[in-house]
Chains A and B, each alone.
Chain A
Amino acid sequence: MKRIAIVGMPNTGKSTFFNRLTGSSSRVGNWPGVTVELLSARTILGSDAVEVVDLPGIYDLHGFSDDEQVVRSFLENNAVDQVVMVLNAAQLDHQLPLALQIHKLGMKPVLLANMIDEADQLGIRIDARALSKSLGCPVILMSARNGVGLKEVRETLIDSLQSVHPVKPHVLKAYLHADDELVAHAESLVSEHVSAPSRLVRRMTERIDRVLLHPVLGLPLFFLAMFLVFQAVYTLGAPLQDAVAYLLGLLRGWALEPLASVLPATLYGFLVDGLYDGIGTVASFVPVIILFFFLMAVVEDSGYLARAAYLTDALMARLGLDGRGFVMLLMGFGCNVPALMGTRVMRSRSLRLLSMLVIPFSLCSARLQVFIFITTALFTPQQAPVILFFMYMASFCAAFLTALLFGKRLKSDEPFVLELPPYRMPVLFQVLMRGWHEISHFLKRASTFIITGVVLVWWLTHYPEGSMPGGAGTYASMVGEWLKPVLDPIGISSMMSVVLLIGFVAKEIVIGAIVAMTGLQGAALNGYLVTQMDSIQAISFMLFILLYTPCLSTLATQLSESRSWKFTGVSIAWSLSLAWLVSFGFYQGARLLGY
């Protein structure tokens, strides 16, 4: 099978083009460096099946960042039949040197001048035919967002794949210093074939930035925007969640219970009260998660994340981090794992390690599930969003505290330079793709971690035989007794301690575990929770869930990205101690004050 590699600078719409070409879903964000794993997909071009690989965005083939090394080593070690470079048509002066670097290596790239609609609006005119002639490789004007020019791209690719001009890795290694020459060449090409107004004016972007990057109002507006996002997740998500729970309940009553009634009581209990209800309760959170990712995708695609980096950099600099670290922290609100991978754009190892130490404190969507579940059960609808916001603040504080404490040991001199993209309207297609991506991710986890966890908890809370389900005498209560000296002082009951133990694997399991343990659902389950904890204990429990190790995937990612057992060990030890100390402080403090 032939292979096409897509290269380009960050933020040129490579991933959007990749999605358009292959129909597959990859993360797209209006932020330099979002695509960090190598995504590949198969598609049919002409009569051939072709593998398309989307490489991370880079500024330079000779650079020193991890992403740049990833691209270089990919090209050095993999056979590629055709390199496709996506360029931002509005920034050809800036981007052609990279195209020339690639061209000079003998890769004969197909150049796609993307975002031609944006360039058009700015009054930039590109003579593609002449530029193509001067360069000796195809140049196509396109807009991946709107699908303009894609037909021509496909035809050109089918054509160019007929004549093979594979990349020669040894040339790539041999070639290094000729940048200045390339820049001069690029400038002459641009001045000949591109006409642009002498000073670009992005009126809309500048007008919006005047407000959103306002020296005084900028930060409050940013926090307001984030608060609104979370508020929207809660208020819009709750009815959706009820709807799904209702449907699953109907299915249970109509189909599952009559069908399963022939089974022996133990098996019935296991399948219906354990597995089905456990997974069903977790599944009822899927709409909330999708909603959350939709909203994050909108924020990401709009270009606001780079502004967040600008606004928060002054604060982050004091903590030894930078604005990018803050943005990764925000990405971590979705899921810690991609956020940890996103730190690859940082060149300095100590800055990367510090960011990776801080990111696991971001309140990810899995923890959000648990908090929504508990706040709904134990607090009034007026209190719940406030408690939720308090958890987000606690998440930030834990991150900042960690940076402050460890920043002195992990100092760096990494330059903070970031591209500020213009604001763009998020495209529905991309946002939907992203949502789908997250659901499939969730279902994958559900099929392994969650089922295993739910089964394990059910077994722990129902055996040995003859013991009261979820009560004294079960294995779970033995484990609970054993953990009592540690968890009693922070107000966590022995049954809940089993849930915490299981939650170490993944927070998605926590709710399913509570359901499987009690065999209860809905209002009855909420009633049970009230007997297990009062509001102070609940907050202490949530603080612990927030701060201790997020999940095994996060740990594994920390290990693989840092390649250091020591670092991963420090991270586990620190998050466990912080979780315990904060819960202890909160719980005992609140009790002392008489709550």
Chain B
Amino acid sequence: MKRVQKTMTNLSRLGTGETAHITGIHAPDDVRQRLQAMGLRTGREARVIRCTRLGPMQIRVGSVDLIMRRSDAARVEIAACDTVRIDIATKK
């Protein structure tokens, strides 16, 4: 199964309940290292559990729940939603 990535977007664009695969992190080295160590790594699946207009987002990666600001979530590049949905469907 080959993943088709038509467009790139970032984690902050996802809404509650949406899921996507992480394709990269765009941040200075030290920030990227921190985000990676907390579980935001390329290839992992991230799911938005909760988000409000002003406050931070709650993201689930693997077994870990994180809260992060939208501006930080914007640093996490993901494969666009529609492709990922197909991705999950074909996986099963």
Contact = CB atoms under 8 A, between A and B. Distances in A.
Interface of B: 27, 30-31, 33-41, 50, 52, 54-56, 58, 60-69, 72, 75
14 contacts: A62-B33, A90-B63, A93-B63, A94-B61, A97-B37, A213-B50, A213-B58, A317-B69, A415-B27, A415-B69, A415-B75, A417-B34, A419-B66, A420-B67
Contacts, number: 96
Given A196-B63, A215-B52, A313 B34 contact: no
Contacts of B52: 215, 314
Output the residue of A209, A311, A420 with the most chain B CB within 10 A: A420
Contacts of B75: 415
Contacts of B63: 90-94, 196, 200
Interface in A58-79: 59-60, 62-65
A352 to B, nearest CB: 15
Interface residues of A, number: 38
B24 to A, nearest CB: 13
Nearest to B56: A313
A390 to B, nearest CB: 27
A416 B50 contact: no
A183 B68 contact: no
Contacts of A98: 37
B58 A419 contact: no
A419 B65 contact: yes
Contacts of A62: 33
Contact of A347 (B34, B60, B65): B34
Contact of A419 (B30, B38, B56): B38
Contacts of A310: 55-56, 58, 67
Given A63-B37, A416-B67, A416-B68, 20 more contacts: A60-B34, A62-B33, A63-B34, A64-B30, A91-B62, A97-B37, A183-B41, A200-B63, A213-B58, A215-B55, A311-B55, A347-B34, A415-B72, A416-B56, A416-B72, A417-B35, A417-B40, A417-B69, A419-B65, A419-B67
Nearest to A418: B67
Contacts of B61: 94
Given A200-B63, A323-B67, A415 B56 contact: no
A306 interface: yes
Given A213-B50, A418-B67, A59 B55 contact: no
Interface in A27-60: 59-60
Output the residue of A91, A317, A415 with the most chain B CB within 10 A: A415
Contacts of A183: 41
Contacts of A416: 56, 67-69, 72
Contact of A415 (B50, B54, B60, B68): B68
Output the residue of B50, B60, B65, B72 with the most chain A CB within 10 A: B65
A65 B31 CA distance: 10
A11 B60 CA distance: 16
B69 A419 contact: no
Contacts of A421: 65
Interface string A317-357: 10000110000000000000000000000010000000000
Interface in A409-437: 415-422
Output the residue of B27, B63, B65, B69 with the most chain A CB within 10 A: B63
A179 interface: yes
A60 B64 CA distance: 15
Contacts of B40: 417
B50 A209 contact: yes
Contacts of A59: 34, 37-38
Given A310-B56, A313-B55, A314-B56, A179 B36 contact: yes
B41 A64 contact: no
Contacts of A93: 62-63
Nearest first, the 7 closest Cβ-Cβ pairs linking A and B are A60-B37, A59-B37, A420-B65, A314-B55, A314-B54, A91-B63, A415-B72
Contacts of B31: 415
A358 interface: no
Contacts of B41: 183
A64 B33 contact: yes
Output the residue of B39, B41, B60, B67 with the most chain A CB within 10 A: B67
A476 interface: no
A323 B62 contact: no
Contacts of A322: 69
A490 interface: no
B32 to A, nearest CB: 10
Nearest to B63: A91
A309 interface: yes
B26 to A, nearest CB: 12
Contacts of B39: 94
Given A59-B34, A310-B55, A323-B56, A420 B69 contact: no
Contacts of A63: 33-34, 37
A62 B30 CA distance: 9
Given A91-B64, A310-B55, A313-B56, A415 B35 contact: yes
A200 B72 CA distance: 25
Nearest to A61: B37
A59 B41 CA distance: 13
Nearest to B30: A64
Interface string A187-224: 00000000010001000000001000101000000000
A241 B60 CA distance: 46
Nearest to B45: A199
Nearest to A312: B55
Nearest to A307: B67
B88 to A, nearest CB: 10
